[in-house]
Structure 1
């Protein structure tokens, strides 16, 4: 019997003695024997020891487990042998221990913790960690620690401009305290350092929910695995720029970032497994996916992106998380205070760059099939500029002249009233500058003509005079320099 069992048996018998006036009936002895899995003879022997004034519990004799040096020899033998019996034979042969094998196994199980035993006889650290107890470390405040990871999406899709099916990849950042998905992006291939940095920048820049709640900011630490998309100079430089402490998990230790791993399983179960082309979906008797040969049934890559984004919004705002008992948005509202936000200048170097420069035309910048416009583009008309952007943000591009920031541009249809007024006012100001310059030029030409006429030598013969340009008359001018006509041509009827 274990020491704890002996103590429990002693307590039970003491209660029976007190209730029976010093006597213990046979029924009590039988119930004690059945309850502890021992014989009635053992119960009587234990009861006799108690009545004779002996120890209430059995005193364990000192053995190999109580001597540190012998204990280390035993543990080393167990770790180096294939079985516990082989270790006992070796220890028994060199006289390290003298007990029988049944006694040795009983002593080993009584004095060696299961986690230590698993680590000695299995794969070492991995088996020990599997059997160990863990204290859950959950931050109380949002943005204390994020978890990040990438996965190959288990769904075959077809490219928007192509025919060969492929599996996308996904990079995700999750806040540990609230389980909020800070940012997640889909990529047509395995992610690199620039993709991870762009996703991080999108998460830090944040977003606003339908009720106006800001979600984002700079985390204190980020925990991710040792994948090359995270362990590289680009990501390290981005973390240093934002004052974030990266915290790589130990190799082959997915439980150290269990929240992002659990999120992967959730989206696979609730979204990806129900889509056409799911790699874990039905197969033929030959093991071929059902969609093979009928690729038109697959979703386009852009359609998968939209479905994923809609699901993430529902996950953040409507789905109750079992671990926290509410939606991630509710937890964020309850805990998020004084969120540290990043200045736009901090995120500029982290953004994705367009593959080529774009020319600023009269209606703005054409990028990915849309026209983007901003008041700050006026003086760059006809110039080539650089475009940077954040993932999942198709409504804003960031315009640069080399590394110098110019402005943020939005689709022309989304230009606000103030921005439109600024554009019109700038065009009016430009026209006033042009008109004043022409007026001054007309005055200079008139003065020059008078001076030339006064100082010209007498003509020896009559020559056909060269018609001179008439001076500019702002009051009665017609044609291109007429104020109303020129403004109408430049600004359009709607602007006036």
Structure 2
């Protein structure tokens, strides 16, 4: 078997044979040895040696041929890789200018393009950068342990759903653990996502206390693209306070966060394509969808189905890289220690301080033309507190300086990521209703408490303090929250 290819072997052998020849030490045995090593005949090696003696040529002399020039590349880009149109333009130029070099035949041009341009370059000239990258090779990061790195991204869902009587295509913001392929946190919005969705998904991903877990804890790093929602000050400050770096990857480099990109592709190919009013469905003649009149899913029904699919992903799918294990099994089999964040710290996670103080009155705290009440305010009228509006649910949170017991903000199952439903419209002022139009959380196995919607009338001022119920199954001591949308958390009573 030849170690050197013939072309490079000739270039390596000829200087040595010429050196032996100049010293009078060249023998037929040397030529025979080179011929055997390169897989050539002795006669061929002697011919190479004669050419080297004559003009010091150590390689084959290439015959002149047409090559792809910079101008030909420009024309190929102009005509979308169409060699026939490039040839026609070269012929037209030659006819208009006699001094133009001779135009090769069309078959010669085709041979030059195949010889001088790679498959990726030809695909890129025809279909663009995405087609060119399809012919590139990419490395794979070495296996790591759980929580070594997370990747996050937005997914624009190509399915029309019914949101309060209007059709909209939701967005999904989620994070995935790169080592175990487990989805750690997710948030669904009916509008283009912003930092609220990122922060909500991160809080869910980090928490491992009931009803969350077992996946969670602090990651070593979070890889994201250049999305402004991921790199805004609120997100970087929230994770920076926990010493978790947010790695900003170069733009238009999906291969650098391949785990989350694979999840984005999988959810569409394995789930979204089967839903009614999927916008990527096959089209009939005229470009119309095959099912234009299919009834859309409600927003809540879509979120429920998406959570079911994510439950399947985490508990039943077995990726080949996990060697027969599901993401949850791979997570539980990994003995890497986890770093948890206390419930008290998560209670104020990702809150922004507007720098203002507010006075507690007999009506509570006034903010944005509404009054907010919480049990811990009893007996503290006239005092001032710092108000911290949260960004991830457009809430108001008033931390209790005297009690640190956090409120139960979320409901979810053990293996199922919780999804806060964030609606795009403002809350309508209406009387309280025991059945909200839009639940604030979707859970398959847990009974949700009945939300209370915003009141429509301002209560009469008096010196009576709001009553509290110490036996409530969902106490809200230490936190007061208002949801902008039509559903409000239980035991939270905005007035006015």
The TM-score with structure 1 as length reference comes to 0.51
> Which residue in the other structure is 1:327 paired with?
326
Question: What is the CA deviation profile of residues 402-457 of structure 1, one whole-angstrom value per residue up to 9, with x for unaligned ones?
Answer: 7886533459x999xxxxxx958xxxxxxxxxxxxxxxxxxxxxxxxxxxxxxxxx
Matches within 5 A, 1:158-197: 158-159=162-163, 162-197=164-199
> Which residue in the other structure is 1:290 paired with?
291
In structure 1, C-alpha distance between the alignment counterparts of 2:285 and 2:70, rounded to whole Å: 51
Aligned-pair distance for 1:140?
0.9
Question: What is the CA deviation profile of residues 80-136 of structure 1, one whole-angstrom value per residue up to 9, with x for unaligned ones?
Answer: 8869999xxxxxx9xxxxxxxx99x999999x9959978998999978865543321
Question: What is the CA deviation profile of residues 301-336 of structure 1, one whole-angstrom value per residue up to 9, with x for unaligned ones?
Answer: 111111111211111111111333321112212225
In structure 1, C-alpha distance between the alignment counterparts of 2:280 and 2:448, rounded to whole Å: 42
In the comparison of the two structures, how many residue pairs are matched?
332
In structure 1, C-alpha distance between the alignment counterparts of 2:189 and 2:239, rounded to whole Å: 22
Q: Is the 8 A contact 2:388 2:398 kept in 1?
A: yes
Residues 345 and 401 from structure 1, CA distance in 2 versus in 1: closer, same or farther, beyond 3 angstroms? closer
Residues 115 and 143 from structure 1, CA distance in 2 versus in 1: closer, same or farther, beyond 3 angstroms? farther
Matches within 5 A, 1:357-368: none
Matches within 5 A, 1:73-472: 131-159=135-163, 162-206=164-208, 214-281=214-281, 285-286=285-286, 287-288=288-289, 290-292=291-293, 297-325=295-323, 326-347=325-346, 348-350=348-350, 379-380=376-377, 400-401=398-399, 406-410=404-408, 423=470
Higher-Rg structure is: 1
Residues 116 and 272 from structure 1, CA distance in 2 versus in 1: closer, same or farther, beyond 3 angstroms? closer
In structure 1, C-alpha distance between the alignment counterparts of 2:8 and 2:279, rounded to whole Å: 55
In structure 2, C-alpha distance between the alignment counterparts of 1:327 and 1:319, rounded to whole Å: 6
Residues 403 and 164 from structure 1, CA distance in 2 versus in 1: closer, same or farther, beyond 3 angstroms? farther
Question: What is the CA deviation profile of residues 351-375 of structure 1, one whole-angstrom value per residue up to 9, with x for unaligned ones?
Answer: 699xxx9x9xxxxxxxxxxxxxxxx
In structure 1, C-alpha distance between the alignment counterparts of 2:160 and 2:180, rounded to whole Å: 31
> Which residue in the other structure is 2:43 paired with?
49
Give 3-state SS (helix, strand or coil) of 2:320's partner.
coil
Residues 345 and 78 from structure 1, CA distance in 2 versus in 1: closer, same or farther, beyond 3 angstroms? farther
Residues 182 and 336 from structure 1, CA distance in 2 versus in 1: closer, same or farther, beyond 3 angstroms? farther
Q: Is the 8 A contact 1:197 1:351 kept in 2?
A: no
In structure 2, C-alpha distance between the alignment counterparts of 1:379 and 1:218, rounded to whole Å: 31
Q: Is the 8 A contact 1:115 1:132 kept in 2?
A: no
Give 3-state SS (helix, strand or coil) of 1:158's partner.
strand
Residues 5 and 149 from structure 1, CA distance in 2 versus in 1: closer, same or farther, beyond 3 angstroms? same
In structure 2, C-alpha distance between the alignment counterparts of 1:118 and 1:242, rounded to whole Å: 48
Give 3-state SS (helix, strand or coil) of 1:408's partner.
coil
In structure 2, C-alpha distance between the alignment counterparts of 1:404 and 1:75, rounded to whole Å: 77
In structure 2, C-alpha distance between the alignment counterparts of 1:175 and 1:221, rounded to whole Å: 10
Matches within 5 A, 1:2-13: 6=6
Give 3-state SS (helix, strand or coil) of 2:43's partner.
helix
Q: Is the 8 A contact 2:120 2:134 kept in 1?
A: no
Structure 1, 397-406 or 334-343: larger mean CA deviation: 397-406
Aligned-pair distance for 1:77?
8.8
In structure 2, C-alpha distance between the alignment counterparts of 1:119 and 1:414, rounded to whole Å: 54
Larger helix fraction of residues: 1
In structure 1, C-alpha distance between the alignment counterparts of 2:238 and 2:341, rounded to whole Å: 12
Give 3-state SS (helix, strand or coil) of 2:341's partner.
coil
In structure 2, C-alpha distance between the alignment counterparts of 1:130 and 1:351, rounded to whole Å: 42
Q: Once superposed, what is the RMSD of the aligned Cα atoms?
A: 5.5
Note the residue ranges of structure 2 that are not aligned, 5 or more in a row. 11-38, 50-56, 63-67, 77-82, 90-98, 100-106, 361-373, 410-446, 450-468, 472-496
Residues 115 and 133 from structure 1, CA distance in 2 versus in 1: closer, same or farther, beyond 3 angstroms? farther
Q: Is the 8 A contact 1:142 1:176 kept in 2?
A: yes
Residues 49 and 213 from structure 1, CA distance in 2 versus in 1: closer, same or farther, beyond 3 angstroms? farther
Aligned-pair distance for 1:75?
9.7
Question: What is the CA deviation profile of residues 231-278 of structure 1, one whole-angstrom value per residue up to 9, with x for unaligned ones?
Answer: 322222222122121222222222222221111111112222222222
Note the residue ranges of structure 1 that are not aligned, 5 or more in a row. 11-44, 64-73, 87-92, 94-101, 360-376, 416-421, 425-496
Residues 166 and 213 from structure 1, CA distance in 2 versus in 1: closer, same or farther, beyond 3 angstroms? closer
Q: Is the 8 A contact 2:281 2:289 kept in 1?
A: no
Matches within 5 A, 1:30-69: 46-49=40-43, 59-60=58-59
In structure 2, C-alpha distance between the alignment counterparts of 1:304 and 1:317, rounded to whole Å: 20
> Which residue in the other structure is 1:457 paired with?
none
* Higher RCO (CA-CA < 8 Å; seq separation 6+): 2
Give 3-state SS (helix, strand or coil) of 2:398's partner.
strand
Q: Is the 8 A contact 1:208 1:215 kept in 2?
A: no
